[in-house]
Amino acid sequence: MSDRRFRFGVVGSPRSGADWMTTARRAAELGYETVLMPDGLQLPSPFPSLAMAAAVADIRVGTFVAAAPLRTPRQTAWEAHTLTVLTDGRFEFGIGTGRPVAEQQTAEVGLPWGTARERREQVIETLDLLRELDGERRTPIMLAAGGPKALALAAERADIVSLAKDATTPRSEVIAVANELRTLAGSRADDIELATNLLAAGTRPLPPWTKRASGVDPDALEAMDSLMLLRGTPHQMADELLRRRESIGTTYITVNDTYLEDLAPVIELLAGN
């Protein structure tokens, strides 16, 4: 379905400056193309953290994803544009309407949470302002999309689309979402990179935190062929990613930094593919 080559990213959460620098440098050494960071008050701010990662390693960086309600649109666009300038174009701007936990955090910073429509309009306003700030230098945009309205926005504005379905979503439904996105995108379809995020890779037993992240017991998650898992030997994992590219079109593969080393052999096997 897609002849776009694979690329890989790692999603990290800095526990210290030294730890974060180690993650960025190791990711670059292993062939990952991006270091990504979530957004939330429980973590260091993503924008300076990503600037630090880009300064210590020859790697792209990105928000995964910035929660629009946590800042005003002008502030978020300013932060994103700044990273594009300071990294000489190595920044990818992921933005979304915010996960449920962001509602309390938005109140903590003194901003309104708003309705789903208002938060979606914040995303659009931020993208418009970023385009104005960027001028001729354009920041790549990542949007997560699963529902009809998010898919329509992603089809119109995104360079990268992360298919926003939970860990229990059947493969057939994810394929249907990807096909709907391509239909909505029309002539833009081939320009959109499809992304998927992995909770775990390799053969190690799933850690307890996967239940918090997925809402499903690890054993049940293993049994249901979840697309948030990539299990097996490096060759088995590489073959599975080739199948997913053929059926879904996903070529941008990101993984939790816990599995940084586990996925690395797959990157080597699929290099240039």
pLDDT tens for each residue of 204-225: 988 888 888 788 888 888 888 8
Tell me what the mean pLDDT of segment 25-43 comes to.
97
Please tell me the predicted confidence (pLDDT) of residue 73: 98
* Topology of the domain comprising 7-269: TIM Barrel (3.20.20)
Please tell me the predicted confidence (pLDDT) of residue 216: 84
**For residues 165 and 109, which has the higher predicted lDDT (pLDDT)?**
109
Q: How far apart are CA 21 and CA 53, in angstroms?
A: 6
Question: What would the pLDDT profile of 230-268 be if each residue is shown by its tens digit?
Answer: 999 999 999 999 999 999 999 999 999 999 999 999 999
Please tell me the predicted confidence (pLDDT) of residue 221: 86
* Percent of the chain predicted with pLDDT > 90: 84
pTM listed for this prediction:
0.95
Tell me what the mean pLDDT of segment 161-165 comes to.
90
Please tell me the predicted confidence (pLDDT) of residue 2: 63
Return phi, psi of residue 8, to 5°. Answer: -130, 145
Amino acid residing at 120: R
Mean pLDDT of all residues belonging to the chain: 95
Tell me what the mean pLDDT of segment 163-170 comes to.
88
Q: How far apart are CA 154 and CA 35, in angstroms?
A: 22
Examine the pLDDT at 64 and tell me if it is beyond 80.
Answer: yes
Q: How far apart are CA 16 and CA 8, in angstroms?
A: 23
Examine the pLDDT at 165 and tell me if it is beyond 90.
Answer: no
CA atoms in the 13 A half-sphere facing the CB of 270: 27
